[in-house]
Structure 1
């Protein structure tokens, strides 16, 4: 029996929720993925009661975001937040074009 998945657009609001609550929280050695406790406190403060799959997805999105943020320390890797990425050798190409 195949699992029943939520409708494809059902999770769009979770991206907004991720950035309202997190996308991470302070840990003893830096930023860590959102905990169940942090998500529960946020839901209580916002008057929300997320479905279990929504909470699981928020925790996973938090971990994925922070993982990509760590990888983005390498200048050849895109950061998870978009816009600030520069393609490899872009500065050289701009300098060459201006010479």
Structure 2
């Protein structure tokens, strides 16, 4: 089974599909280390994003993944850790 990676492009697509984008927020800019709140994504939007990630990638994420990982970079790393753990246990 090939390794599945969650990328910034995946995250941006899921954010746009699930919660849209705030006016004046450029998701195509340098956002890796920008807090989700600064990008216009509150906790409800992140929960929706989490649900979409879980369905698309077949993983289960605890709610604290979103409270502890406040930037795209840290969330991407957390999702990829979950994906790697699944591959290790398959």
**Normalised-by-shorter TM-score class:** 0.3 to 0.5
Q: Which has the higher contact order (CA 8 A, sep 6+)?
A: 2
Name whichever structure is richer in strand by fraction.
1
Structure with greater Cα Rg: 1
